[in-house]
Structures are given as structure tokens and as C-alpha cells.
């Protein structure tokens, strides 16, 4: 997995501009295509946005924006509906099923399951899904540094007016202890995985690692993204499938976004950000191949928070 893209300043700036434009184009086409919108992702090889459509008559609408169009079998709404149906049946899923999501790149539903349990996963979700066998996801939470909750450690995500946002399980899975640098002002886990901490007498800077936070526009699947965590530091990769359902042993979380960024215990709550400074979310959990984040926009909206930007 390539984590250092090795781009010079000019190339990095061009890539950031291209990915920002792709995000704007995706949002525009989502509205313009309506029910025929089949999802979109950023193709790193061509540096173009690829947009799926279910209606061939809408191909020109996509290509007119400079994006690449392709015919797909399922609309984004249909895929999201299937995810919602599986969410409704979550309690009946076998323990070997670790989650599910709509894969925008392949235009199909993917169910994640423990190695050697594909048949049980298909029996639950249906044989028209793709099963991806992988190690069980775990919460990133352990004793250490950054901010403490009793004997546990998590990572600050993004600073907001009055405090910062982080992962919800950092509160619910650590007992009644308060963070060493503030007090819990709100949290949600399972179902969601977000929280915010109200601080006092702490200097709050609008940064994730060395990157200044500029906003919170959601990056396209395939776009570059990096995260800052108190265990593994600043690591980078790409945005994967969105709106994923992940079944941790501690509880199920819906609406997560996958990445191939490296994370480990103690990184929970750390911030995901694009090179252009657009905040994406906070670390929820994962395994050695995948790191999931809770999207930032939902956290800010839920608690009416104002993101600090520079």
C-alpha cells in the first residue's frame, strides 16, 4: 500500500485542485442525474471523475462536465436501499459477518466476513452480493498518550468552537471517566461513532497534523486522504467505499467511510483530512487493511458545532 505519494509541490497542488473539482462535479451530477445517478469515484490513474448512470440517454450529461461516464446496473439510490434493508436485519446476521456496503467502483453490494465464512454471509445477505473475507474490525482504543479517559487513550479529531470532535466509543467504552483535557459534551455509539469534548483553558488550533483545516467538503471515492493519530502519526491513502455498515464486537455502526490508510490502537477519534485541508471525519476502527472514519459533516450537524478553520 503506497502511503507517500512522492509528489512535488506543483504536482501536489494540481492534484488537490483536480480532486476538489471532482467533488464539486459529483455533487452537481448527483442532482442533475436524479434517479439515474449510479455513484461516482475519482480514478487516480486518469485523474478523472468516473460517474455511473443507469440511463444511457444521460451519458452526455456526464461527459459534458469532463467526467467519464459508464453504464451501470444499479442506481446509487438502489444500492443505498439495499444497505438500509441489511441494516434493518442486522440483528439476524451471523457473528461471522463483519459489515456491508455499496461499492461505487464495482456497482455492487459487498458483505465483509471472517475468513472461510463466505457461504454463511451469502445465506444472510443473498447470493447476488460479493463477499470479501478479511480479519475482524477492532476499535482503536488502548492505554497511552494523546488524551486520556481513565487508563485509555484516544486522539483529537478536529477542533471546533469550544472544544474538539472525536470518536463516540472513546466515551461509551471507557466507563464514566472524563477526558483529561475537558468534559464530554455529547457522544453516540453504537449506531454512530462520534462525540465532542468541551474544553476550557486550552488553545485550539485549526490543524490536523501540519495541515490547516479549510472546510469540510466530502472527497470523492478514490481521492487522496490522510489521517493524524496519536499512535501511527500522519499516514495517507485513498478514500474507499462510503456508507459502510461495520459490526464491531462492541456494537454496529452505519454510515462509515473506508480507507486504506494505516491506523492502530489509540488512533481512535483522529482526524481524516485531504491535502487541500478539507476535513473528512474521525477514526472509528478497522483492521490491518482498512481504516474506517465517521464522516465529519454528520458530527457537526448533530451538535450544531462550528469547525475551526484557518
The reply to whether 169 belongs to the active site is: yes
DSSP string for 211-263? EEP-B-PPPPBT-EEEEEETTTEEEEEEB--SSEEEEETTEEEEEEEEE----
Closest CA to 166 of 241, 183, 151: 183
Please check whether residue 240 is in contact with residue 290, taking contact to mean a CB–CB distance below 8 angstroms: yes
| Three cell numbers written together for 180 | 483529561
Q: How far is CA 250 from the centre of its chain?
A: 19
The reply to whether 193 belongs to the active site is: yes
Please check whether residue 222 is in contact with residue 41, taking contact to mean a CB–CB distance below 8 angstroms: yes
Give the pairing type, strands 233-238 and 271-273.
Answer: unpaired
Q: Which DSSP category does 90 fall into?
A: G
Q: How far is CA 228 from the centre of its chain?
A: 14
CB atoms within 10 A of CB 241: 21
**Catalytic entry in 36, 152, 268, 284:** 268
Distance CA 80, CA 84 (A): 6
Integer distance in angstroms from the first to the last C-alpha of the chain?
Answer: 31
Alpha helices in 89-210 (DSSP H): 118-125, 169-172
The reply to whether 55 belongs to the active site is: no
pLDDT given for residue 202 in this prediction: 85
Please check whether residue 272 is in contact with residue 167, taking contact to mean a CB–CB distance below 8 angstroms: no
Instruction: Dump pLDDT digits (tens) for 285-297.
Output: 999 999 999 999 9
Which residues pair with residue 68 across a beta bridge? Answer: 50
pLDDT given for residue 146 in this prediction: 76
**Catalytic entry in 75, 155, 169, 216:** 169
Distance CA 70, CA 80 (A): 19
Give the pairing type, strands 183-188 and 194-198.
Answer: antiparallel
Distance CA 196, CA 282 (A): 11
Phi, psi of 230, deg, nearest 5: -75, -10
pLDDT given for residue 9 in this prediction: 66
Which residues of the chain fall short of a pLDDT of 50? 1-7, 142-145
pLDDT given for residue 144 in this prediction: 40
| Three cell numbers written together for 260 | 486504506
Please check whether residue 303 is in contact with residue 186, taking contact to mean a CB–CB distance below 8 angstroms: yes
**Catalytic entry in 36, 152, 193, 267:** 193
Closest CA to 44 of 224, 198, 268: 224
Amino acid at each position: 500500500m503506497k502511503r507517500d505519494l512522492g509528489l512535488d509541490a506543483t504536482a501536489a497542488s494540481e492534484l488537490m485542485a483536480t480532486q476538489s473539482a471532482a467533488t464539486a462535479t459529483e455533487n452537481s451530477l448527483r442532482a442533475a442525474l436524479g434517479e439515474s445517478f449510479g455513484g461516482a469515484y475519482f480514478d487516480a490513474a486518469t485523474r478523472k471523475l468516473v460517474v455511473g448512470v443507469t440511463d444511457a440517454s444521460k451519458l452526455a450529461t456526464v461527459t459534458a462536465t469532463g467526467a467519464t461516464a459508464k453504464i451501470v446496473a444499479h442506481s446509487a439510490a438502489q444500492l443505498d436501499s439495499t444497505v438500509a434493508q441489511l441494516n434493518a436485519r442486522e440483528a439476524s446476521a451471523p457473528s461471522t459477518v463483519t459489515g456491508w456496503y455499496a461499492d461505487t467502483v464495482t456497482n455492487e453490494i459487498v458483505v465483509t466476513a471472517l475468513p472461510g465464512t463466505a457461504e454463511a454471509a451469502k445465506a444472510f445477505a443473498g447470493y447476488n452480493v460479493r463477499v470479501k473475507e478479511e480479519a475482524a474490525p477492532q476499535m482503536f482504543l488502548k492505554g497511552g498518550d494523546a488524551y486520556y479517559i481513565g487508563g485509555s487513550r484516544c486522539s483529537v479529531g478536529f477542533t471546533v468552537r469550544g472544544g474538539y470532535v472525536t470518536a463516540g466509543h472513546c466515551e461509551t467504552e471507557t466507563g464514566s471517566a472524563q477526558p483529561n483535557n475537558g468534559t464530554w459534551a455529547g457522544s453516540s455509539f453504537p449506531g454512530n461513532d462520534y462525540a465532542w469534548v468541551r474544553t476550557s483553558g486550552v488553545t485550539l488550533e485549526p490543524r490536523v497534523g501540519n495541515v490547516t483545516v479549510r472546510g469540510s467538503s466530502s472527497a470523492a471515492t478514490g481521492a487522496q486522504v490522510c489521517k493524524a493519530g496519536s499512535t501511527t502519526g500522519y499516514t495517507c491513502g485513498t478514500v474507499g467505499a462510503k456508507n459502510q455498515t461495520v459490526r464491531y464486537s462492541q456494537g454496529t455502526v452505519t454510515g462509515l467511510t473506508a480507507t486504506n490508510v494505516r491506523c492502530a490502537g489509540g488512533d481512535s477519534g483522529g482526524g481524516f483530512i485531504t491535502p487541500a485541508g478539507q476535513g473528512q471525519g474521525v477514526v472509528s476502527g478497522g483492521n490491518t487493511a482498512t481504516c474506517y472514519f465517521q464522516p465529519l459533516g454528520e458530527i457537526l450537524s448533530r451538535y450544531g458545532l462550528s469547525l475551526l478553520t484557518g
